[in-house]
Amino acid sequence: MIAEERIEKLGQLAREAGIKGEEIRAKRYIFLAQKIAQRHRLKFPVQLKRFICSACGTYLVPGRNARFRTNKKCVVVSCDCGSHKRYPYKKTKLKGMEE
């Protein structure tokens, strides 16, 4: 399997684990995906990055451990750890936001 596919797969696994509430496992998958990206000097997928708390590394699941809010300009993501991040939502389509 090529590195990009592995990262994508790990992202999926992290998402599944996150949805089940297995946050430690989700974090582990994220960690592995980041390591692969680093090792292969790949850009970490933006789609995936959006769902990772930059402060605590948790995979963010809307309605479970994170709140996603939109205003006119951007999406604001609040993690349970108290960290917020915001980004313009026109640039990237967000899979999973509609759930």
If the CB atoms of residues 9 and 67 are measured against Zn ion, the closer one turns out to be: 67
Look up residue 44 and give its amino acid: F
| Interface positions with Zn ion (CB under 5 A) | 53, 55-56, 58, 79, 81, 83
CB-based burial, 23-61: b 16+ in 10 Å, e otherwise: bebbbbbbebbbebbeeeeeebeeebbbbbbeeebbbbb
If the CB atoms of residues 10 and 51 are measured against Zn ion, the closer one turns out to be: 51
Output the smallest distance, CB 83 to Zn ion, in A.
Answer: 5
Output the smallest distance, CB 65 to Zn ion, in A.
Answer: 8
If the CB atoms of residues 7 and 23 are measured against Zn ion, the closer one turns out to be: 23
Q: Which residues contact 92 (CB under 8 A, 6 or more apart)?
A: 46, 47, 50
State both tokens at 84: 């917020």
Output the smallest distance, CB 9 to Zn ion, in A.
Answer: 23
* Beta bridge partner(s), residue 86: 76
If the CB atoms of residues 40 and 81 are measured against Zn ion, the closer one turns out to be: 81
Output the smallest distance, CB 55 to Zn ion, in A.
Answer: 5
